[in-house]
Amino acid sequence: MKVVEETHTKLVIKHQPIMNWLWGSLLFIGGLSFWIYFIFFDFASLLLTCTRSSPPEINCELKQFTLLGRMEKVKIFDPQQAYIQTKMGGKGSKSYQTIVVSKFGEFSLLSDLSYQENEEFILKVNSFINSGESFLMVTQNRRISLLYISLLAFVLSGVGAFLATSPLSICTFYKSINKVFIERKGLRSNKTIEYPLEEIVRLYIQDKRVKYSRLYRAVIFIKDGKEIPIHLEYTDEKSVKYVVMRIRQFLNVDL
């Protein structure tokens, strides 16, 4: 927040919510990117079918599906075994993923399933490989969890869009017409608040605690009891105190 213009009859103060614009843009781009990935590219379910044509030859076909139904098909020739791969995350968390091993490489299946779900899957696959059965069909499904994650990403992008379109605040004091105008200009809406200067009872600073610090904003108190922030967002103490001092000097009053 800063004074951008001052004459004997006019004082203009402008506040640009730069941090809101910055963090909002990052949230919007990040949330939207993850949402697109989860919806269009990340696999939500799979179907593994295996046939034994003549012992010990086994051929499998792996079909993986996204939430929107896009399918990717992979052939797995002569699978040897399936096992659970454990991945360590932050704060000791663990995630599990089934790996199918063949003579031609390893194939990773769906991630973020529980250990029990992966265990049931590999037991069926390994049992089939070590048996004389001729056909196997098994599935993995994480549609519900992926739907929740994609919804969260969409909500984050919405929050980001809201912050990124935070309005610019312009407060103009006119001695010539004895009025103050507070304008909120943004993509979502434009609003102008207007009051006579004599309606201003007090000019003060509001503060709020954020983690280990405090943020501030200048507020005009009107005779009818309304409290009108000069700028909606809270910012640093130094700039707010300076602007309040300049307003008092301009109006030549001790509000």
pLDDT interval class at 54 (50, 70, 90): confident
Percent of the chain with pLDDT over 70: 99
Query: What does the CA dihedral 35, 37, 39, 45 come to, rounded to 10 degrees?
Result: -130
pLDDT interval class at 90 (50, 70, 90): confident
pLDDT of residue 53: 83
Query: What does the CA dihedral 120, 121, 126, 127 come to, rounded to 10 degrees?
Result: 60
Round to whole Å and give the CA distance between 156 and 153.
5
Round to whole Å and give the CA distance between 2 and 20.
17
pLDDT of residue 140: 96
- Over residues 104-155, the pLDDT tens digits come to 899 999 998 999 999 999 999 999 999 888 999 999 999 999 999 999 999 9
Contact 233, 17 (CB under 8 A): yes
35-39, 54-58, 125-129, 142-146: least confidently modelled range: 54-58
Secondary structure E strands in 67-147: 71-77, 79-88, 94-102, 105-108, 135-141
- Over residues 77-89, the pLDDT tens digits come to 999 999 999 998 8
The token pair that represents 153 in the structure block: 């990403």
pLDDT beyond 70 at 255: no
pLDDT interval class at 200 (50, 70, 90): very high
- Over residues 150-197, the pLDDT tens digits come to 999 999 999 999 999 999 999 999 999 999 999 999 988 899 999 999
Average pLDDT over residues 42-63: 91
Give ∠ CA 240-241-245 in degrees, rounded to 5. 120
3-class DSSP state of 9: coil
Q: How far is CA 40 from CA 34, 43, 61, 148, 165, in A?
A: 10, 8, 22, 15, 27
Round to whole Å and give the CA distance between 9 and 151.
52
pLDDT of residue 210: 87
pLDDT interval class at 92 (50, 70, 90): confident
Give ∠ CA 176-180-184 in degrees, rounded to 5. 135
Q: Where do runs of H (alpha helix) occur along the chain?
A: 18-40, 115-129, 143-164, 237-251
Tell me, what DSSP letter sits at residue 222? E
Give ∠ CA 43-46-51 in degrees, rounded to 5. 150
Structural domains of the chain, with CATH = 2-17+167-251 (2.30.29), 35-148 (no CATH)
The token pair that represents 186 in the structure block: 């943004």
Cis previous bond, 229, omega within 30:
no
What is the separation, in whole angstroms, between the first and last Cα of the chain?
20
The token pair that represents 206 in the structure block: 């509001």
Give ∠ CA 158-34-46 in degrees, rounded to 5. 130
pLDDT beyond 80 at 55: no
